[in-house]
Structure 1
Amino acid sequence: MNKMQLYILDDDTEYADRLAAFIRCSEFADRWQVKLFSKPEFILDVMESQQLDGVLLMSETYYPIMIHRNTSLCKMVLSETIANSSDVETKVPFLYRFQSLQQMLSRLQAFYAEMSQTCVGALTNRTKVLSFYSSSGSSGKSITALHLAKQLSLRGERVFYLSLESISAASLWLNGDSGGFSQLLYYLKSTPDSLAPKLQLYKSHDARLRFDYLIANDQIREMYEMSGEHAKLLVEALIALDAYDFILIDLESSIYPRILKSLELSDYILWLVRDDLNDFFKTKALYKQLGLKSNVHFVMNKYTGSQMNDLQALDKKLTCKLPYIPEWKSLSSPEQVWQSAIFSGQVYEMFLVILGRSYSQSASHLEGAAAS
C-alpha cells in the first residue's frame, strides 16, 4: 500500500520535528510519509516542478502566502487560535495546534478522506452572490455581512464584500485603502468596457481579514445616480474576474434601481428582520410588492431569546435567529465589532443552513437554525 504524502510547512520547526517524530513512531507511520518545510519558497519550488498528491499542512503564518496557490494538494491549516473545523465540506479545514497529536492526525485523516475526491482536479464553481437586505435601518446588515466575509475567508474561500449603501460605516471596521470606489463609479458610467482592469486597480483589501472590498465613503450623489444597469455591470464584472467564490452585497433599506437590480442578480437574499411591529409591517408590505423568488431567507437579528411578533403573514418561516449583542448597542471603537465570537459563529451557522445542500451534511442539527 502506497503511503500518503504529508507536506508540513511550519515556521515552528520544533513543533514540526516533534509531529514528524510522532508520526514515524505511531500507527500513522504505515499511512503517511512526512516531508518538512520551514519556508514557503522551498515547497513552492517542489509544487511548481511536479504533480503532488496528499496534504499540505501549513501554519497560520504562511496561510496568506499559500492559500491561493494552485496545487493538487488538499490544504489544511495549523492554528493557534481557531478551534478545529467541524464540517468536512470546509474548503480549507483548520486544526487546532495545541491538542493531542493523536487527535489532530485523526482529524486530518478524516478530512482528507472526505476531501480527496474533490481536491484533485476540482473545477471552480460559479461565483455565488449573496445580498443582505432589510425593510428598515438598524437591522445589522453590515455587521452580519462582514462577519460572514470574515468567517468564509478564514476557511479559505475567496470573498469580495461590496457595499452599495449611500453612506456606510463599514469602512471604519476594515483596514485598507477604501478610496477607490469614486474612480470606479466614473469608469462604470463613462467607459464600462474598461471596468474589469480598473477593478483590480481600485479594489481595497483587508490583509488581516483576508478579503477584498469596495465601499462608497463620500459619493452620496454618485450613488444616488447609480442605475440598475450600472449595478449589473459592476456585479457581472466582479463575477467575470473568476477570482471570488462569494460576492457579499451589503444593500441599504431602499428601493433605488441599484438595490432592486442587485436583489435580482442574487443567488441568495438574506433579509434581516427585527422583532419589532413596525419592522414586520414594512417587511410584509415590501416583500409582497417586490415579488421576490424563493431565494429569500428571512433572518431575525438581535434575537433576545423570546419572540413577540409573528411572521406567519409572510407565508415564509425564519431561516435562523442571530443573537442580540448588548456591547453593540453603543459603539465607541471599531474593534468592538469584531469582539463577539458568539455572533460570528452563529453567522457562519446561518450560512451553512442557507447553503446546506452544498456545505453541510445536514442543516437540521445546527445550532442557530431554530425557526418558528
Structure 2
Amino acid sequence: MGKIQLYVLDNDLDYSERLAAFIRTSEYAENIQVRLFSTLELLLQLLESSPSEGVLLLSETYFPELMNHRSTLCKMVLSETIANSREMETKIPFLYRFQSLHQLLSRLQAFYLEKHQYPVFPTTENRTQIISVYSSVGNSGKSMTAIHMAKQLSFRGKRVFYLSLESVSSASLWLEGDSGRFSQLLYYLKRSPDLLGPKLQLLKSQDLKLRLDYLTPNDQIREMQEMNGENVRLLMESLLSLQMYDYIIVDLEASVHPRIVKSLELSDHIIWIVLDDLNDLYKTQAMRKQMGSMQKVHFVLNKYTGKQANDFSTLNNEIAYKLPYIPEWKIVSSSDQIWQSLLFSEQTYDLFKLLIQGKDYPSAFTEGAAAS
C-alpha cells in the first residue's frame, strides 16, 4: 500500500497549515501525503481530474455543498461540535477538530484503511524490531525495564509501541491516555481478525507525554488466559503492517502460557530479567529448558547492589548487563515514583545500545551503577 493522498479543504487556513506541517515532520510523513485547498473552486478542479484513491477532509462549512458530490475519494468532515464517529460503517465519518493531531490522524487512517480493507501482512521495508522483556519470576522489575526502555527510545526520536501481554498490567497505572480498549481488541482478534489492522488505529492508546502508543489489559484476566499463540501472531503482524514503528516493546508475564511462548518466538530480541536469588535461578533454568533453544536471549541481572552471590554460568549464557537496585521502588505508593529514577531509566537505554544495537562499551558499562 502506498501513501494515503489527503486533500484538505478548510476555511481555517492556520489549522490546515498546522495539520500539514505536523504530517510532514512526524511519523505520518511515511504514510500520508497532504495537499491543502483554500477554495472550493480549486478543489472541484481536482475532482474533475478524478483521483482514484485518497481522503477528502472537509470543514463543516463546505460539507453541505460536497455531501452528495460523486467522488471516489473517502470523505470525512472536520467538526467543531460533533464528536468523533465511532462506527466504521459510518458513510461519512466526522472527526473532532480540537482533539490532538495525533489522535485525529490515527482515526483518519483507521476509517480509510477499513473502507479499503487492505490485507494485513508483515513488511520488510523499514523493518520494525520486536523486543520482548521476560522473567521467570514475578516482582523482578520486568515491567519497569520495559516501560523505561520504551520511554528512552521515544525521547530519542524512535517510534515506539508498548504492548503488555500480562494477565493484569501494572503499566496501566503508569501510562496516561484511555487504556480501556484491550477487550475490544481481543474481540476482533477472535471474531474478525481480517479487520484487526484498521481497528488498531482506533483501539490503541496514546501517552502524549511519553510520545508512544500502547495497549495494556486492565481486568481481562479470563480473556487473556484464552488468548492463544495464533492470536498473538495476528496481533504482531497487524502491528507490523501499520509500518509506523521502529520498535515494539512487549512486556510479558512470568509464565509459559501459549501467548507468552509465541511472543518470545516472534521476537527479534529477548531481554530475560533475572535476580540474584537461588529460587529465581532454579526457575530460570527450568523455563529455559522447557522452551528449548531460542535465539537472541540476553540475560539481564536486575536489582544489582554491587555484589553477586549466585553463579549464573549454568544458564549457558553470561549475564549481559546489570541494572541497579533502586531503593525508592521498594514500596511504590504513587505512579509518579516510577519516573523519578533517572539512573535506572538511562541505564535501560545503555542496555538497549549494548544488546540490541551491538555497540561496544567498556566492561564498566555492562554493570549499571548500583544506587546507594
Distance change >3 Å, CA 201–CA 366, structure 1 → 2: farther
Measure how far apart 1:294 and its partner are. 2.9
- Which secondary structure does the structure 2 equivalent of 1:356 belong to? coil
Query: Residues 174 and 206 of structure 1 are in contact (CA less than 8 Å); yes or no, is this contact kept in structure 2?
Result: yes
Alignment of 1:1-372 (within 5 A): 66-68=25-27, 70=29, 125-357=126-358, 360=359, 363-365=360-362, 367-370=364-367
Measure how far apart 1:315 and its partner are. 1.3
Measure how far apart 1:256 and its partner are. 0.7
Distance change >3 Å, CA 40–CA 291, structure 1 → 2: farther
1:85 alignment counterpart: none
Query: Residues 162 and 250 of structure 1 are in contact (CA less than 8 Å); yes or no, is this contact kept in structure 2?
Result: yes
- Which secondary structure does the structure 1 equivalent of 2:133 belong to? strand
Equivalent AA in structure 2 for residue 169 of structure 1:
S
Equivalent AA in structure 1 for residue 27 of structure 2:
H
TM-score, normalised to structure 1's length? 0.67
Q: CA RMSD in A?
A: 2.3
Identity %: 56
CA distance in 1, matches of 2:241, 2:293: 25
Query: Residues 323 and 347 of structure 2 are in contact (CA less than 8 Å); yes or no, is this contact kept in structure 1?
Result: yes
Equivalent AA in structure 2 for residue 260 of structure 1:
V
CA distance in 2, matches of 1:176, 1:42: 26
Deviations 1:241-284 (CA, angstroms, capped at 9, x unpaired): 11111011100001111001000000000000000010011111
Query: Residues 323 and 367 of structure 2 are in contact (CA less than 8 Å); yes or no, is this contact kept in structure 1?
Result: no
Measure how far apart 1:367 and its partner are. 4.7
Equivalent AA in structure 2 for residue 172 of structure 1:
L
1:88 alignment counterpart: none
- Which secondary structure does the structure 2 equivalent of 1:368 belong to? helix
Measure how far apart 1:370 and its partner are. 3.6
Query: Residues 227 and 257 of structure 1 are in contact (CA less than 8 Å); yes or no, is this contact kept in structure 2?
Result: yes
Query: Residues 139 and 273 of structure 1 are in contact (CA less than 8 Å); yes or no, is this contact kept in structure 2?
Result: yes
Measure how far apart 1:285 and its partner are. 1.4
Distance change >3 Å, CA 155–CA 67, structure 1 → 2: farther
Measure how far apart 1:366 and its partner are. 6.9
- Which secondary structure does the structure 1 equivalent of 2:27 belong to? coil
Structure 2 residue runs without a partner (length 5+): 1-13, 31-123
CA distance in 1, matches of 2:186, 2:161: 17
CA distance in 2, matches of 1:146, 1:271: 15
CA distance in 2, matches of 1:272, 1:282: 12
Distance change >3 Å, CA 165–CA 43, structure 1 → 2: closer
- Which secondary structure does the structure 2 equivalent of 1:255 belong to? coil
CA distance in 2, matches of 1:42, 1:187: 36
CA distance in 1, matches of 2:271, 2:138: 15
CA distance in 2, matches of 1:260, 1:333: 32
Deviations 1:167-217 (CA, angstroms, capped at 9, x unpaired): 111010000100111001001000100001110011000000000000010
CA distance in 2, matches of 1:172, 1:260: 25
Equivalent AA in structure 2 for residue 368 of structure 1:
F
Query: Residues 175 and 207 of structure 2 are in contact (CA less than 8 Å); yes or no, is this contact kept in structure 1?
Result: yes
CA distance in 2, matches of 1:254, 1:146: 19
TM-score, normalised to structure 2's length? 0.67
Query: Residues 126 and 243 of structure 2 are in contact (CA less than 8 Å); yes or no, is this contact kept in structure 1?
Result: no
Select between 287-296 and 145-154 the one with higher mean Cα deviation: 287-296
